[in-house]
Amino acid sequence: MSREGGTESGTVRERIIGTATRLFASLGYDGTSAKMIADATGLDVATITDLIGDKRDIYLAVMERASMTTRAMFDSTFAEFTPDRAGVHLLADRYLDFFVEHPEVAELWIHRWLGDAADVTWLEALYLKPLLDRLTDALRSVVGSDVDLEIACWTVIWSVRGFVVGGLLNEEGQPVGPRNPVFLRRFRSHLHQLVDRMYELDR
């Protein structure tokens, strides 16, 4: 294959993964068909199968891409991390900012909480567990000895993903998401208070 052909195939592959990411994030794996991905990408199913594989292969590629992006965020954050209150706030802020910019990643994992793609059982062990282990190792020397660090980390994960996807209700009872700067500031302030108290950082 020529360099031009390889580059073109890579570009089409990226387009497929991007389109599939949006569909899986919105509808879930179980609610998305290969034909829907093909139609949204402007290709036929056979072309997509040749480039990536079937729907399961596409889903695995999407989750790998989402996890690589998440890991890159953690890599850059840990390069600046300090084992103190400021460092914990940095981790919380970067985690929140990442999902504000990539809400589709939060949506992909929330679908899995709801039993989506139930036959693909190893993604949490492959992608989430190493990040959680890295996070708890970094925080262990910072938090109080009686803190259940694993549950404290999960509490932040649940809170951030829920806020990014579900938002908060405004005075009219309408959901408002993190793109609203006032609501984002409120949640960030709450997140700082949450980690201070959970991790006993304000002693």
Domains of the chain, each with CATH number or no CATH: 60-198 (1.10.357)
What is the DSSP secondary-structure string of 86-99? Answer: HHHHHHHHHHHHHH
- From the CB of residue 68, how many other CB atoms can be counted at a distance below 10 Å? 10
How far apart are alpha carbons 47 and 74 in whole angstroms?
Answer: 35
Per-residue model confidence as pLDDT tens digits over 42-97 = 999 999 999 999 999 999 999 999 999 999 999 999 999 999 999 999 999 999 99
pLDDT tens readout for residues 2-55 = 344 556 677 899 999 999 999 999 999 999 999 999 999 999 999 999 999 999
The 10s digit of each residue's pLDDT in 110-147 is: 999 999 999 999 999 999 999 999 999 999 989 888 89
Paired tokens of 78: 């840990």
Q: How many CB atoms lie within 10 A of CB 26?
A: 13
Residue-level pLDDT at 6: 57
Phi, psi of 102 (to 5 degrees): -130, 60
Average pLDDT over residues 151-169: 96
Radius of gyration of the chain (CA): 19
pLDDT attached to residue 59: 98
In the predicted structure, residue 161 carries a pLDDT above the cut 70: yes
CB 170 within 8 A of CB 176: yes
Which pLDDT belongs to residue 202? 58
Once rounded to an integer, what is the mean pLDDT over residues 172-188?
A: 96
Q: What is the pLDDT of residue 3?
A: 41
Nearest-angstrom CA–CA distance, 66 and 124: 12
Question: Which residue is it, tokens 């089409």?
Answer: 12
pLDDT score recorded for residue 4: 45
Q: How confident is the model at residue 46, as a pLDDT?
A: 95
